[in-house]
Chains A and B, each alone.
Chain A
Amino acid sequence: MAAYLIRRLIQAVLILLGVSLVTFFLLYLLPADPVRQIAGRSATAQTMQNIREQLGLDQPFVVQYWRYLSGLVHGDLGRSYLQKSEVAVLIWARLPATLLLMAGAIGCELLLGLTMGIIAALRRGSMTDQSLMIVSFVGVSAPQFVVGLLLLYVFAVKLGWFPIGGYGTFGHLVLPSLTLGIVGSGWYSRMMRSSMIEVLRQDYIRTARAKGLARRRVVFRHALPNAILPIIAMIGIDIGIFMGGIVVVESVFGWPGIGQLAWQAIQRIDIPIIMAVTLVSACAIVLGNLLADLVTPFIDPRIRLR
């Protein structure tokens, strides 16, 4: 187990290095000049050159990347070009909101997705199955913006059950989580359905049924732990996606997550913030996958980590 963890951590470091290199290089190649965003419209060529030198943007790519990496190793994510604040402070301030929404969204995805997937699999080919799959298809296809605004309008504006956007209480969390849950549950329900159908065909399930076990016990004790393995991998990926920020949902609900920070940074080529958000997202994907791999053997003892 220890050797496995060490190997995965080394892999993680290499992945993050690769991500940082590729992102930095792409930003370097970008046909847009961050100095022009900083210097403003009245700047002279001299002013722009001064800023370029101060930020080290006049240096070759290798020097720029090496400086960034050196800072990163020492825990320095740099300062925002436009806000002038430390990027770590900006990210840290938004991290709790991002983690909270991620937890709420994954909770809703699982609750809705798994329930629909299991019911559809157990009633395969029935009207219920078809209806649920249409619902999941609508969920997958519906734009987050539309679902978010619809929920907001009905449950916050018309019924007044929840606040109209904002952050701070459980009530604020419900609608953005549900929006992401509805959209994401489409994927989960389809995955769960096909995985469950596959498992229900297995011999050991047939044996369990032949032994006269109750249907509920067969499904939840024998089938579900095996069928859920692909779902765990999906959660690992979702963690990464949510950590990178969910711009649309954050905007609709005024949720102060990393997504809004990233979006504004991209628009104005604030390289230190773009780099930091990308790395945080990559870290989350790596850790999410690692967590998924670590959890899997507890659910299916046949799987061993090597």
Chain B
Amino acid sequence: MRYWLTSTALVLTLALPAIAQDYTPDPNAHQGGSIVITYKDDVATLDPAIGYDWQNWSMIKSLFDGLMDYVPGTTTLRPGLASSYEISDDGTVFTFHLRAGVKFHNGREMTADDVKYSLDRVTNPATQSPGAGFFGSIAGYDAMADGSATALPGVEVIDPLTVRISLARPDATFLHVMALNFASVVPKEAVDAAGADFGKLPVGTGAFKLAEWTIGQRLVFARNTDYWRAGEPYLDQITFEVGQEPIVALLRLQNGEIDVPGDGIPPAKFTEVMADPAQAARVVEGGQLHTGYITLNVKMPPFDNVAVRQAVNMAINKDRIVQIINGRAVPATQPLPPSMPGYTQGYAGYSFDPEGAKKMLADAGFPSGFETELYVMNTDPNPRIAQAIQQDLSNVGINAALKSLAQASVIAAGGEPDQAPMIWSGGMAWIADFPDPSNFYGPILGCAGAVQGGWNWSWYCNPALDDEAATADSITDPAKVDERMAMWSDIYMKVMADAPWVPVFNEQRFTMKSSRMGGADALYVDPVSIPVNYDYVYVTDVQ
């Protein structure tokens, strides 16, 4: 029943031809050649329902496709395996029309049944997907999550090339959710055959297919010659060498042995590299959807006093902290990073004012300051940053004892209401899963995250703001996107007034590449295909 066609006046039709939002092919790109990329950590899995790491995120994007995708190097959505889609006027029904003739790496054609299977699989608790929660707005999700259902009733196969997804509530972010790796389409027979080892034997529809995986050493991706995007990808082969220390990866890059050190330029070598014009010319700088912040636990005195939290915001010298990390960031003024839609331009945040902070503390009843604890993850540069924060706090009379712990222990402390008064988020800081301001709110600033074991370590819960957030996310009409972004901007300004965080910096990305690598700079600091968009980069030494 195509009820969405009954009234074009009411129905929002977004049957967009893919080309309207698509990428302009690089005229200099040639097909062929191979590159070598290194990572320090081994790749845990290539199962799109499970993988959630720095190094496997972009790899999975190259092996699999979802219904939605992004224009390379941007945060602009474009259809992926869906050739077009429609959204009902109330924003709760999404109908996706699939591309015909798309083949999995095993040669079988992808159909709407595969889409349904993939969404059922990722939301099934047995899969243990870290991304299951993203699909919470699909009708029937709750029954899946509690194990009382094995399929999502909200996902219906209309015909082999049409799938309809009904939501329990309007969700303006849903198209972004469908572009997440977790929404990738997988073939049931390949998952059944591999069982729990599907992550080591991935079969998708992506631009590359896995040709070799030697555990602990390397993965080799080969070009998918049947790829549905004609002419892509450009590279014939990508070799990922794992277990490589970043400093050694840099030496190998300088020696011409590799093409991209996936973990970036090691901090100890950053200044040296940037001081050499020849090397600096091969470094691409870009923003990323990241904010590093200090949480102030509003359930623990004296941080239950908003004036104290505001004073702490004024006590921190963010410029100096940015210097500590060799200028690889920009000082943050608010929770959202500058490249995120909804960022409030022109808002300066709390300015660095130790004297003002002291006065504010005195007015709040703490003329001599107070004792507290600052939790921090124990890997460089986080302890050094925490020491700078400790010194800034000391200057206004606050004595913060450093609790430098393993990542898991800091996360556990943050999830308790009465354990960590302050946490420096470095090493665990929020990088957006998708480019939408809502992704910075719910789990880390909303009431839903302020629960035991949650990620809202400031334990800030403002029900009025939660309502505003829900209202903003129910605006699904693209024509009202500015209105929605204004609402989100307002929400974050109110968060800043309540000051449960000290936003410290927004990290920049610096990707270094070999001189033979081609492609627009944006591909090397792609905000979504992190760290590099492998499908569109190419080498210049092939004809």
Q: Give the distance in Å from the alpha carbon of A246 to the alpha carbon of B433 in the complex.
A: 34
- Tell me whether B477 is interfacial, beta carbon within 8 Å: no
- Decide if B243 touches A251 in the complex (CB within 8 Å): yes
| In the complex, chain B residues 111-135 whose Cβ is within 8 Å of any chain A Cβ | 125-126, 128-134
Does A31 count as interface, using CB distance less than 8 angstroms? Answer: yes
- Are B215 and A44 neighbours in the complex by a CB distance under 8 Å? no
Q: CB < 8 Å: which of A36, A255, A268 contacts B415?
A: A36
Which one of B249-257, B509-517, B522-530 is at the interface? B249-257
State A133–B42 Cα separation when bound (angstroms): 40
Chain B: CB-nearest residue to A157: B251
Residue pair A164, B252 in contact (C-beta under 8 Å): yes
Contact indicator A32/B409 (Cβ below 8 Å):
yes
Evaluate contact between B216 and A42: CB separation under 8 angstroms.
no
Within 8 A of B (CB), among A246-265: 250-257, 260-261, 264
Contact A267 B407 (CB under 8 A): yes
Nearest A residue to B243 via CB reads A254
Let me know if B406 and A84 touch, CB within 8 A. no
In the bound assembly, the distance between CA atoms of A40 and B147 in angstroms comes to 19
B135-178: CB near A (< 8 Å → 1, else 0) gives 01000000001110000000000000000000000000000000
- CB atoms of B245 and A252 under 8 A apart: yes
Q: How close is B56's CB to chain A, nearest CB, in angstroms? A: 10
List chain A residues, Cβ under 8 A from B408.
30, 32-34, 36-37, 267-269
Main secondary structure of the interface of B (DSSP, over half): loop
- Bound complex: CA of A252 vs CA of B250, how far in Å? 12
Residue in A closest to B200 when the chains form the complex, CB atoms: A85
CB distance from A214 to the nearest CB of B (A): 48
Q: Is B286 an interface residue (CB 8 A)?
A: no
B71 contacts the other chain (CB 8 A): no
Q: Is the CB of A42 within 8 A of B443?
A: yes
B409 touches A85 (CB 8 A): no
B243→A36 contact, CB < 8 A: no
Asked if A169 CB lies within 8 Å of chain B CBs, one says: no
Instruction: Give A97's nearest chain B residue, CB to CB.
Output: B216
Bound state CA distance, A264 and B54, in angstroms?
A: 13
Contact B131 A42 (CB under 8 A): yes
Assess whether A254 is in contact with B244, with CB atoms less than 8 Å apart.
yes
Kindly list chain A residues whose C-beta atoms are within 8 Å of the C-beta of B388.
none
Q: How far is the CA of A290 from the CA of B433 in the complex (A)?
A: 52
- Give a binary string over B161-205; 1 marks a CB under 8 Å from any A CB, 0 the rest: 000000000000000000000000000000000001101100000
Residue of B nearest to A164 (CB): B252
Question: How many of chain A's residues have a CB under 8 angstroms from any CB in B?
Answer: 56
Report A-chain residues with C-beta under 8 Å of the C-beta of B199. 83-85
Indicate whether A250 sits within 8 Å of B243 (C-beta atoms), given known contacts A45-B451, A54-B126: yes
Docked pose: A32 CA to B405 CA in angstroms = 11
Contact with B along A34-70 (1 / 0, CB 8 A): 1011111111111110110010000000000000000
Provided the pairs A46-B146, A85-B197, A268-B408 are in contact, do residues A38 and B217 lie with their beta carbons within 8 angstroms?
no
Q: Is the CB of A50 within 8 A of B145?
A: yes
Report the separation of the CA atoms of residues A250 and B129 in the bound assembly, to the nearest whole angstrom.
31
Chain A residues closer than 8 Å to B241, beta-carbon distance: 166, 254
Chain A residues whose CB sits within 8 angstroms of the CB of B136 once the complex forms: 44
Across-interface contacts of B44 in A (CB, < 8 A): 80, 82-83, 264
Say whether B257 contacts A51, CB under 8 Å.
no
**How many residue pairs at the A-B interface have CB separations less than 8 Å?**
149
Bound together, the chains give a CA A304 to CA B254 distance in angstroms of 58
Give residues of chain A (62-91) contacting chain B, Cβ–Cβ below 8 Å.
79-80, 82-85, 89-90
A45–B42 touching, CB < 8 Å: no
Q: Which residue of A lies closest to B258 (CB)?
A: A164
**Once the chains bind, are A254 and B245 in contact (CB under 8 Å)?**
yes
Query: Is the pair A164, B255 in contact by a Cβ cutoff of 8 Å?
Result: yes
Q: What B residues does A37 contact at CB under 8 A?
A: 408
Q: Is there a chain A Cβ closer than 8 Å to B412's Cβ? A: yes
A94 to B412, CA, bound (A): 31
State whether the Cβ of B310 lies closer than 8 Å to any Cβ in chain A: no
Set of chain A residues within 8 Å of B254, measured between Cβ atoms = 157
A155 to chain B, nearest CB (A): 12
With a cutoff of 8 Å between Cβ atoms, the chain A residues found around residue B42 in the complex are 260-261, 264
**Distance A165 CA – B247 CA, assembled complex (angstroms):** 11
Whether B196 pairs with A84 at a CB distance below 8 angstroms is yes
Contacts of A44 in B (CB 8 A): 133, 136, 145
A156 nearest CB neighbor, chain B only: B251
Bound-state CA distance A254–B42 (Å) is 11
Which of these, B45, B126, B132, B242, contacts A82 with CB under 8 Å? B45
Chain A residue at smallest Cβ distance from B245: A251
Give A229-260 interface residues, CB cut-off 8 Å to B: 250-257, 260
Residues on B with C-beta less than 8 A from A39 are: 128, 130
In whole angstroms, what is the CA distance A253 to B248 when docked?
A: 8
* A253 cross-chain contacts in B, Cβ below 8 A: 248
- CB pair A36 B216 closer than 8 Å: no
Contact of A32 among B47, B126, B133, B411 (CB under 8 A): B411
User: Using Cβ atoms and an 8 Å threshold, which residues of chain A touch B129?
Assistant: 40
- A237–chain B nearest beta-carbon distance, Å: 25
Q: Most chain-B CB neighbours within 10 Å: which of A41, A94, A157, A252?
A: A41
Q: Given contacts A152-B251, A250-B243, A256-B217, is CB(A41)–CB(B45) below 8 Å?
A: no
For the complex of A and B, the 4 pairs showing the least CB-CB separation, nearest first, are A40-B130, A256-B216, A32-B408, A42-B133
Q: Apart from A51-B125, A157-B255, A254-B245, what are 20 other A-B pairs with CB-CB below 8 Å?
A: A32-B406, A36-B411, A40-B52, A40-B130, A40-B131, A42-B132, A50-B125, A51-B128, A54-B128, A80-B44, A83-B44, A84-B196, A85-B196, A85-B200, A90-B215, A152-B251, A164-B251, A164-B252, A252-B248, A254-B243
27 pairs, CB–CB < 8 Å, chain A vs chain B: A30-B408, A32-B411, A33-B415, A33-B453, A40-B52, A41-B433, A46-B145, A47-B125, A47-B133, A50-B147, A51-B125, A54-B125, A83-B45, A84-B50, A84-B196, A84-B199, A85-B45, A85-B197, A89-B215, A94-B215, A156-B251, A164-B252, A251-B243, A253-B248, A254-B38, A254-B242, A257-B216
